[in-house]
Amino acid sequence: MRILVINSGSSSLKFQLMNMIDREILCKGLIERIGSAEGTFTYSRGNGEKIVETREIPDHETAISLALQAITDPQAGVIKDLSEIDAVGHRIVHGGEKIKKSEFLTDEIIRIIQDCVRLAPLHNPANLLGVKALKKLLPDVPHIGVFDTAFHTTMPEKAYIYPLAYEYYKKHGIRRFGFHGTSHHYVSLRAAEILGIKPDKFNCITCHFGNGVSISAIQNGKSVDTSLGFGTMAGVPMGTRAGDLDPDIILYLIDQLKMSVTEVRHLIYKNSGLKGLSGLTNDMRDIVEAALAGKKRPKLALRIFTRSARKMIGAMATVLEGKLDAIIFTAGIGENNVEVRAMVCEGLEILGARIDLQKNLIRGKEGIISTDDSRIKLMVVPTNEELMIALETEALAQGARKN
What confidence tens digit (pLDDT) does each residue in 104-124 have?
999 999 999 999 999 998 889
For residue range 117-145, list pLDDT tens digits in order: 999 988 899 899 999 989 998 999 999 99
At 114 the pLDDT is 96
77: Cβ–Cβ under 8 A, 6 or more apart, which residues? 27, 70, 71
The reply to whether 209 and 73 lie within a common domain is no
Question: In this structure, are residues 101 and 111 in contact, taking their beta carbons and an 8 Å threshold?
Answer: no
Q: Where in the sequence is the domain holding 79, given as residue range(s)?
A: 2-147
Residue 224 binned pLDDT confidence (cut-offs 50, 70, 90): very high
- For residue 59, what is the domain's CATH number? 3.30.420.40
Residue 37 binned pLDDT confidence (cut-offs 50, 70, 90): confident
Question: In this structure, are residues 154 and 193 in contact, taking their beta carbons and an 8 Å threshold?
Answer: no
148 in active site: yes
At 403 the pLDDT is 60
Name the burial class of residue 125, with classes exposed (0-12), middle (13-18) and buried (19+) by CB atoms within 10 angstroms of its CB.
middle
Catalytic entry in 59, 86, 107, 148: 148
At 402 the pLDDT is 64
| 391 lies in some domain | no
Task: Tell which of 147, 163, 188 closes a domain.
Answer: 147
What is the average pLDDT value for the chain, to the nearest integer?
A: 95
DSSP 162: -
Q: What percent of the chain has pLDDT over 90?
A: 88
Question: In this structure, are residues 209 and 333 in contact, taking their beta carbons and an 8 Å threshold?
Answer: yes
At 49 the pLDDT is 77
The reply to whether 67 and 207 lie within a common domain is no
* Cα within 13 Å of Cα(260), Cβ side: 3
Q: Which residue has the higher pLDDT, 34 or 49?
A: 34
Let me know the angle formed at the C-alpha of 183 by 178 and 186, rounded to the nearest 5 degrees: 125
Sheet architecture: strand order including 12-19: 50-57, 36-45, 24-32, 12-19, 2-8, 87-92, 143-147, 103-104
* 3-state SS, residue 5: strand
At 123 the pLDDT is 87
The reply to whether 237 and 377 lie within a common domain is yes
* Number of independent structural domains in the chain: 2
The reply to whether 206 and 133 lie within a common domain is no
Task: Tell which of 113, 130, 147 closes a domain.
Answer: 147
| 400 lies in some domain | no
Question: In this structure, are residues 82 and 72 in contact, taking their beta carbons and an 8 Å threshold?
Answer: yes
The reply to whether 135 and 238 lie within a common domain is no
152: Cβ–Cβ under 8 A, 6 or more apart, which residues? 160, 176, 177, 178, 179, 181, 184, 216, 223, 226
> What does the alpha-carbon distance between residue 301 and residue 313 come to, in Å, rounded to a whole number?
18
The reply to whether 8 and 102 lie within a common domain is yes
Evaluate if residue 254 carries a pLDDT over 90: yes
The reply to whether 208 and 137 lie within a common domain is no
Whether this model's pTM surpasses 0.85: yes
Question: In this structure, are residues 93 and 131 in contact, taking their beta carbons and an 8 Å threshold?
Answer: no
Going by C-alpha positions, the residue among 19, 20, 12, 21 that lies closest to residue 29 is 12
Average pLDDT over residues 388-398: 95
The reply to whether 111 and 240 lie within a common domain is no
| 153 lies in some domain | no
The reply to whether 121 and 207 lie within a common domain is no
| 45 lies in some domain | yes
At 187 the pLDDT is 98
Q: Return the HEC string of 73-126.
A: CCCCCCCCCHHHCCEEEEEECCCCCCCCCCEECCHHHHHHHHHHHHCCCCCHHH
Going by C-alpha positions, the residue among 224, 209, 187 that lies closest to residue 315 is 224
Residue 171 binned pLDDT confidence (cut-offs 50, 70, 90): very high
| 173 lies in some domain | no
The reply to whether 221 and 352 lie within a common domain is yes
The reply to whether 347 and 207 lie within a common domain is yes
| 108 lies in some domain | yes
Q: How far apart are the first and last CA of the chain?
A: 17
49: Cβ–Cβ under 8 A, 6 or more apart, which residues? 76
> What does the alpha-carbon distance between residue 190 and residue 326 come to, in Å, rounded to a whole number?
12
Question: In this structure, are residues 241 and 212 in contact, taking their beta carbons and an 8 Å threshold?
Answer: yes
| 256 lies in some domain | yes
* 3-state SS, residue 298: helix
| 176 lies in some domain | no
In 269-332, the DSSP E strands lie at 326-330
The reply to whether 255 and 378 lie within a common domain is yes
